[in-house]
Amino acid sequence: VHPSLSKQERKALCRLMDSRKLSAEASIHATHNERLPIRAVIQVIFSEHNKLSQHLDWSGSFNGSRSPNASLEQPMRCVSKREATAQQAEIRKLRED
């Protein structure tokens, strides 16, 4: 959006960004943005990884099972269309990488 920013200015701006609060769409955009510093991209990817890990831990806590195959079991709640779309986009991204 701001091609005239220097590398130092982009780094300073990215330090203000809280990758934990980004939406799934914004996270995907950030990981594909070549102008973002690598550190910012890694923080976004790490944040998304943590969100997915917490989601898996949370979904497994209801049935008392913490097995590695917990994701194959019947989910305790319905996933919204928005969450499903975000998860599918993340899976596509991981497959591409």
Q: Give me the residue spans of the domains in the chain.
A: 1-58
* pLDDT for position 67: 52
* pLDDT for position 54: 83
Helix, strand or coil, per DSSP, at residue 39 = helix
* pLDDT for position 61: 55
Round the CA-based radius of gyration of the chain to a whole number and report it. Answer: 16
Q: Which residues of the chain have pLDDT under 70?
A: 1, 58-77, 79
* Among 9, 63, 2, residue whose Cα is nearest residue 33: 2
DSSP code string of 58-95: HHHTTTT---TTGGGSPPSSPPPHHHHHHHHHHHHHHH
Token reading at 47:
């944040």
* pLDDT for position 95: 85
